[in-house]
Amino acid sequence: QLQLVESGGGLVQPGGSLRLSCVGSGLTLDYSAVGWFRQAPGKEREGVSCIGMSGSFTNYADSVKGRFTISRDDAKNTVYLQMNSLKPDDTAVYYCAAAPYLVITGPCPKDYFGSWGQGTQVTVSS
11-63 residue pLDDT tens: 999 999 999 999 998 888 989 999 999 999 999 999 999 999 988 899 999 99
Q: Give the pLDDT confidence of 95-116 residue by residue, as tens digits.
A: 999 999 999 888 888 899 989 9
pLDDT at 66: 97
Burial of 59: CB neighbours in 10 Å, binned 0-12, 13-18, 19+: buried
Q: Across the strands, what pairs with 21?
A: 7, 80
pLDDT at 126: 95
Q: Across the strands, what pairs with 115?
A: 98
- Contact between 96 and 8 under an 8 Å Cβ cutoff? The reply is no
Q: Per-residue pLDDT for 123 more than 90?
A: yes
- Contact between 37 and 46 under an 8 Å Cβ cutoff? The reply is yes
The rounded distance, in Å, linking the Cα atoms of 119 and 126 is: 23
The rounded distance, in Å, linking the Cα atoms of 4 and 27 is: 10
DSSP state of 78: E
pLDDT at 7: 97
Q: Across the strands, what pairs with 7?
A: 21
